[in-house]
Amino acid sequence: MTGRLVGRVALISGAARGQGAVEARMFVEEGARVVLGDVIEDELRATADAINATHPRSATAVVLDVTRPDQWMAAVAVAEREFGGLHILVNNAGITNERYGGLCDIEDMPLDAWNALLNVNLTGVFLGMKSAIPLLRSSIRPLYEQNPRLTASIVNISSAQAIRPSPGQSNYAASKWAVRGLTKVAASELGPMIRVNSVHPGPIDTPMISEMLKTNLSVLQGLIAETPLERVGTAEEVASLVLFLASDESSYCTGAEFLVEGGRTAATVAKK
């Protein structure tokens, strides 16, 4: 621990497992206190308990369906009540097409699958920011007035699909492209006290990828073949980037896209 987030409070959605859980653990190890939100209640509370076992009173869990404004407001209220404020928001929650039967061309895309991904992946990010902004601003103001490099941070998890989309993912790619645009608008509105950036992972070894393996192994193999580093990434690699953006080390970064995708968007064809 180097204390990169000492004195800061974070709210992370989709934190029960995978990338969000790793982010929560990493934040706490760097001195933050964290509110973990998710709809998978049993895993969520287990993750918070595991964090508190090694870092007492550093984490609390709240059921958070990111499509529900009331649950967002409740999560923000927990941050203020339990930890006295909020300095960091990580909009990590998201879903893929796997729960709707896998990849699907536009002409065959069911409307419920289209709406579901945009509701979680895009509207969930909008609601998270809308709910958290007032407390982010009031919490960071005393620090910012002492030093303008001390700011609040919003990190929106988008996808490499927002840079280089793939066929069969119109709803997913559209939702993540929109998060990219929403991030830039938010950055222009919320400065100078709140920074907003987006992170764009490629295929990452999480439970979400495990779901893809069950139905679309060939798709995953194709993605790896198009990736110069020739592997999927790890949740720790993504979380390390999110930690950087949450910390004051990134104090002059806002409205930007940060890729963690093994170079896939730089490559135009698969290597022979």
- Domain carrying residue 187: 9-266
For 23-47, give the DSSP string: HHHHHHHTT-EEEEEES-HHHHHHH
Stronger pLDDT, 225 or 34, i.e. the higher one: 34
Q: Is residue 255 part of a domain?
A: yes
Q: Is residue 4 part of a domain?
A: no
Residue 172 annotated in active site = yes
Q: Is residue 271 part of a domain?
A: no
The SS3 call for residue 229 is coil
Q: Is residue 1 part of a domain?
A: no
**1 pLDDT exceeds 60?**
no
User: Based on the structure, what is the number of domains in the chain?
Assistant: 1
**24 pLDDT exceeds 90?**
yes
pLDDT, tens digit, 9 for 90 and up, residues 160-181: 999 999 888 999 999 999 999 9
Residue 7 phi, psi (nearest 5): 85, 0
Q: Is residue 272 part of a domain?
A: no
User: pTM here?
Assistant: 0.94
pLDDT, tens digit, 9 for 90 and up, residues 7-22: 999 999 999 999 999 9
Interhelix angle 170-190/124-146, rounded to 10 degrees, is 30
Q: Looking at 100, 144, 172, 252, which residue is catalytic?
A: 172
CATH label of the domain that carries residue 206: 3.40.50.720
